[in-house]
Structure 1
Amino acid sequence: MVAFSKPTLVEYTCYELGHCWTPSCRQASFDVFKDVFREALKIYGSLYFIAGLLRRRGKAYFRKKFWLELLQSTCFLTVNGTLFIACFCIWRKLVGSFKYVSTISFLPALTASFIAIIQERKSRRGLLAVYMANIATETVWRMLKERGMVRSIHNGEVLLFSVASAVYLYYFKKAALPDGTMSVFKKIFGSEECLSVKEANGNTSNDDRHLKSSSNSEASVITNQKKPYTPVIQWLTNEKQPFIPVIHLLKKFQLWLQNFPKHTLCCHNHSCISHTLQGSIRMFTIGYSIQAVIKLISSLTYIMKRPRTVINALTHKNNREFGAFLATLVGLFRGINCILRRIRNKDDAIHGAVAGFCAGWSMLFYKSQTIALYTASKLVEMIYFKGIEKGSLPYFRNADIILYSLSTAIVFHAAVLEPHSLRPAYWKFLLRVTGNKFANMNRRLLDPFVPNCSKLYPDYWPDYDMRYTNLVKPTS
């Protein structure tokens, strides 16, 4: 990577190198402010609105709290973007020139990020810190790979996700995850796969589990007998419907699967096969729907011009791949747990680790460095806090602020000096929120000091106002 303290003696003004669209430092900061503020309102407005709907927030939230959260997060992102270009100029004037590479990008980004993150709500600082730490980790890896210092491991992101899943699901079986994470895992993998506190301590016998399983099954049968048909089911089972034979066949097939045997230690209501398939089908539907909605939202501008884009968004292969990833993840976890209960004749937290590692390879359907890194980083965070609770690890005050500031500084340092090392999606995000101004920097001036700095834009040369510079575009 570029040495932060390496003397470079880059004798260019901030106009020639950074804000090449205007010679005024104040105007440059104001231009970035307008772009970032406008995009921040769009991003956080849609994010908080959708989150409020999904969480079923009442009218009181949208009348008052929604606007406060929106303005605070918008202020955070706007300050981060605006202060970066402002500190770019300030640090140059303080030092006298861009004598060190760090004064070009790292120190301005560190200063701006520190001031920005303290503007954000405390409840969001941790999430932002972990997210930027993921981006920074991937960026550093790409920078090292660019220099031939590391090599990519085949299916490395899948292996990382599998290891993280093994640890996560081990704690899930022991009911030792944080409350919020535990609630999400129960909805995904099924609460019946989680050991109770008594079972986690090894104090529950097979007979107790058998009685619990039997009582759950009997209660389920009674509930199903008393539960009335919903209007949708009544409409589907109406004899006048043309596809009623298909419905009957599906119901018979479902009953046939449910009648397969299950182990006495299994707490799910029906057979192991039915339990596994039910979870897989449910998660495929959820995964497909989530990815389809994301595709629709990202294609809104194209949909207005070409309505047929809706069909492409709904049938995109990423929808199927993400659905298959979640379906296989849950199906393998449930199925392997049932198999291990039969083989070992007991339920154990170690089953969660084995099943989690095997299930993690479902990422082969939908490879994602982002998901793998985020899962691993959240796992490290969870283990760290568990260490703090036990007194074996120290507690660092304001660690989220420090982590966010350092991570963002690394990412912005790369965005200025070698944007080709950034994750493409994040680079597009930076261009979007700054009105493409990140691309308008004259990186060709830095090529003698930072090799391949202008790799993404080798032919770009700003339209300078010659009253403020003597730079002329090179002929070659």
Structure 2
Amino acid sequence: MTILSKPHDLQSCQKFHPWGKTCSSSASQIWIAVFLAGLKLYAPLFLVPALIFKRKSIQFLVQRTLPEILRSSVFLGTYAGVFSGAICLIRRIVGKDLKSMAAISGFFAGLLSILIEKKSRRSELALYCLNQAIEVVWKMAAARKLVPLFKNGEVLVYMIASSILLYFYQNEPDSLRSNMNGLLKFFIGKN
């Protein structure tokens, strides 16, 4: 992805997607590849808890869990496809590469893809995307020597995030979703 942040010759988008002849076919291919990867990711993520904790029937799994797996996979595919297509679209509209092209494309990809997910999951996904965006911005700033890059800095971030989560579990359990409370009770025990 670092190639996307460096200016290129504008004659063709082939440098961005050499496997496809057009921007739309390349974005479609990315959508399909990420959708299939999403199925592999989300199938165990949704099925295992449904089987272990809820112990529901096959009918429940087909009616409830399968649509959630498909919706989340479409979300991922849409994000990746729109991101790829938006980069090419911005290049054509503006007529040149922008340093912020990836950020603008990511914003529009996130905005459109988040509408696919259920409203109850949007805040969780927004927090996840915010975390990823902060990490990307920090690493970009560190690569440009604007901020220091800490060795094992992700451990510090994990500790801070865990302490915030456990603070809310201990002091304000109603502010967490019921499944998060249940998961923490399962692993940690009651307050």
Asked if these proteins are the same fold (TM beyond 0.5), I'd say yes
Give the match for residue 41 of structure 1: 39
Deviation at 1:146, TM superposition (A): 2.4
Q: Look up the equivalent residue of 1:130 and give its one-letter code.
A: L
Q: How many residues align?
A: 181
Which of 111, 116, 124 is 1:114 aligned to? 111
Deviation at 1:167, TM superposition (A): 8.4
Two-structure CA RMSD over aligned residues (Å): 3.1
Which whole-Å CA distance do the structure 2 matches of 1:111 and 1:48 have between them?
27
Change (3 A) 1:76 1:140: same
Which whole-Å CA distance do the structure 2 matches of 1:131 and 1:141 have between them?
15
Give the match for residue 127 of structure 1: 124
Deviation at 1:75, TM superposition (A): 1.4
Q: Look up the equivalent residue of 1:132 and give its one-letter code.
A: C
Change (3 A) 1:185 1:100: closer
Identify unmatched segments of 5+ residues in structure 1.
1-7, 195-476
Identify unmatched segments of 5+ residues in structure 2.
1-5
1:272-308 deviation per Cα after TM superposition (whole angstroms, max 9, x unaligned): xxxxxxxxxxxxxxxxxxxxxxxxxxxxxxxxxxxxx
Report matched runs for 1:15-54 at 5 Å. 15-54=13-52
Which of 142, 160, 177 is 2:173 aligned to? 177
1:291-350 deviation per Cα after TM superposition (whole angstroms, max 9, x unaligned): xxxxxxxxxxxxxxxxxxxxxxxxxxxxxxxxxxxxxxxxxxxxxxxxxxxxxxxxxxxx
Change (3 A) 1:37 1:123: same
Which whole-Å CA distance do the structure 2 matches of 1:183 and 1:24 have between them?
48
Query: Does the 8 A contact of 1:15 with 1:22 survive in 2?
Result: no
1:64-107 deviation per Cα after TM superposition (whole angstroms, max 9, x unaligned): 11221122112111111112222222222222x2242233x222
Change (3 A) 1:46 1:89: same
Q: Look up the equivalent residue of 1:12 and give its one-letter code.
A: L
Which whole-Å CA distance do the structure 2 matches of 1:176 and 1:190 have between them?
16
Deviation at 1:145, TM superposition (A): 2.5
Query: Does the 8 A contact of 1:36 with 1:77 survive in 2?
Result: yes
Query: Does the 8 A contact of 2:169 with 2:181 survive in 1?
Result: no
Which whole-Å CA distance do the structure 2 matches of 1:21 and 1:162 have between them?
42
Query: Does the 8 A contact of 1:117 with 1:125 survive in 2?
Result: yes
Deviation at 1:171, TM superposition (A): 6.7
Deviation at 1:143, TM superposition (A): 2.3
Query: Does the 8 A contact of 1:9 with 1:99 survive in 2?
Result: yes
Which whole-Å CA distance do the structure 2 matches of 1:160 and 1:33 have between them?
31
Which whole-Å CA distance do the structure 1 matches of 2:52 and 2:68 have between them?
16
Query: Does the 8 A contact of 1:14 with 1:88 survive in 2?
Result: no
Report matched runs for 1:48-447 at 5 Å. 48-59=46-57, 60-95=59-94, 97-103=95-101, 105-152=102-149, 157-158=155-156, 161=159, 165=163, 168-169=166-167, 172=170, 175-178=171-174, 180=178, 181-191=180-190, 194=191
Q: Among the aligned pairs, what percent are the same residue?
A: 25
Aligned-partner SS, 2:54: coil
Which whole-Å CA distance do the structure 2 matches of 1:171 and 1:47 have between them?
23
Which whole-Å CA distance do the structure 2 matches of 1:160 and 1:39 have between them?
26
Bigger Rg, which one = 1
Q: Look up the equivalent residue of 1:110 and give its one-letter code.
A: F
Change (3 A) 1:13 1:77: farther
Aligned-partner SS, 1:55: helix
Which whole-Å CA distance do the structure 2 matches of 1:53 and 1:41 have between them?
17
Query: Does the 8 A contact of 2:139 with 2:149 survive in 1?
Result: no
Deviation at 1:116, TM superposition (A): 0.7
